Amino acid sequence: MAAFEDFQSLDIRIGKIIEVEDFPEVRKPLYKITADFGKEIGIKHSAVGATHYYKKEQLQDKLILGLVNMPLKNIGPFTSEFLTLGVSDEEGKCILVVPDKNAFLGAKLY
């Protein structure tokens, strides 16, 4: 069982996707995204497997939740700096977890 302190060690913040690119170098369909997490965290890059439900244009300027204090992860030639949070549909495809539109960039999940 996870302790409350375990949850507190996760730094999950609200970000806004400011750039979306195709990622043809990998086997699994992914987008490369750039997100702004506000003044404290800044700009970070990640890859997200949300290609089934979202076109690139739909992700532009979308608010997301991202785990920003994880170790860097290499995905092929790309380095992911945060984990974009999502849930699976019945087929295992990614549905993004998104905050309310009134939330501000960099706000921490608690």
For residue range 85-95, what is the model confidence (pLDDT) as tens digits? 999 999 999 99
CA distances from 4 to 1, 56, 94, 110 (A): 10, 36, 27, 11
Domains, the chain, in order of start with CATH, read 4-96 (2.40.50.140)
Is the distance from CB of 12 to CB of 66 less than 8 angstroms?
A: yes
Supply the pTM of this predicted model.
Answer: 0.94
Q: What is the pLDDT of residue 20?
A: 98
> What's phi and psi for 96, nearest 5 deg?
-70, 145
Q: In the predicted model, what is the mean pLDDT of the chain? A: 96
For residue range 52-75, what is the model confidence (pLDDT) as tens digits? 999 999 999 999 999 999 999 999
- In whole angstroms, give the CA distance from residue 6 to residue 34: 27
Find the mean pLDDT for residues 20-47: 96
Residue 101 reports pLDDT greater than 90: no
